[in-house]
Amino acid sequence: MTAFSLNPDQTARCAELRTLAAERLRPLAEKGDPGHVNRPLVAALGELGLLDGLFTSGALDLCLMRESLAYVCTEAETALALQGLGAHPVHAHGTPAQRERWLPQVRTGHAVAAFALSEPGAGSDAAALALAAEPDGTSGDWRLTGEKCWISNAPEADFYTVFARTSPDAGARGVTAFLVPADRAGLTGTPLDMLSPHPIGALAFDAVRVGPDDVLGEVDRGFRVAMTTLNRFRPSVGAFAVGMAQAALDAALAHAAERDAFGGKLKDLQAVGHQIAEMAVRTEAARLMVYAAASAYDAEGPGGPGIARRAAMAKLLATETAQYVVDAAVQLHGARALRRGHLLEHLYREVRAPRIYEGASEVQRSIIAKELLG
């Protein structure tokens, strides 16, 4: 298989996922409460074996799964992705006891995970984290004190992968990753009312005790845990964006073929045809870059040459493209696309956040430039 085409099995799997999303997942998503974790939906993802795929699939297969779900049901795609983002550090860096305690429940959808990196004063600049992990006497434990903000699935997750500063004034070299159960004393959270319909909240840590058994990876090496997780998932954020772009493009094609305008159909206007052509070209280019980045990850592994750059390129191009395509589709539809409940109204709210989370577009450009310019 090349990075630029799918084999028949992959094509069939994508079609199967779209059908599952339409028949099994979208009805559950429609019953959910926006801004809150939809546990029946997460459980269904587990029942269908999709959550298990987060840990058993390669990067390309993960992209195909996210793109297929996003095309039909963005809520299902996001619920799946957040499980992966929150639990991947446990899968990749956790101890046998940590993995045994949490991963089976994540796979079945009975435990909700969250990735707690961003803070009020440290979003894209992850090396500037201020959440303090202060030694607790001579016991070898720490006390976490500070805040996290813009955390997906907070405050309703069952456990958090939390990044805290264990060595002051050490930048990225002084951050440690901890697995923190949600019921740990001193940990509280509040939901945030956001444009995106998925749950996002803030967390407050009031001397929350963590010990050596809670460390993910090595002490003061948590930045590596964060970056390897993000490099794994950034191409698939691009796949999420491509799925939304394709859904918007297909909606525009259908509307242009059906809509009467100026004595003919909307599609007969050259300006409309050119606009749709541009939308299609950009969507396909983004898709190919996502597939190429994921294929490189599968071939080279997380530490391979150019992996971070490829992941950044894929996320940057795909998320910016999806914003353009969804906006263009809204423009072609006119006012009807802005009505609450319309597919494009939903996509318009969904498509904005991926340009910010897991590293804003400006951060992706910085990663790319740093690798290119040395």
Mind telling me the catalytic residues? 358
Whole-angstrom distance, CA of residue 364 vs CA of residue 204: 29
Nearest alpha carbon to residue 248 among 274, 282, 271? 282
H or E element that contains 116: strand 113-116
**DSSP character for 196?**
S
Q: What are phi and psi of 288, to 5 degrees?
A: -65, -40
* Cis amide linkage into residue 155, ω under 30° from 0: yes
Q: What are the tokens at 217?
A: 């990876």
Q: What is the dihedral of CA 12, 17, 22, 23, to 10 degrees?
A: 90
Tally: H helices and E strands in the chain: 12, 10
Beta strand 159-165 pairing with 113-116: parallel
How large is the greatest C-alpha to C-alpha distance in the chain, in angstroms? Answer: 82
Nearest alpha carbon to residue 364 among 303, 297, 293, 301? 293
Count CA atoms closer than 13 A to 15's CA, side-chain side. 7
Whole-angstrom distance, CA of residue 294 vs CA of residue 300: 10
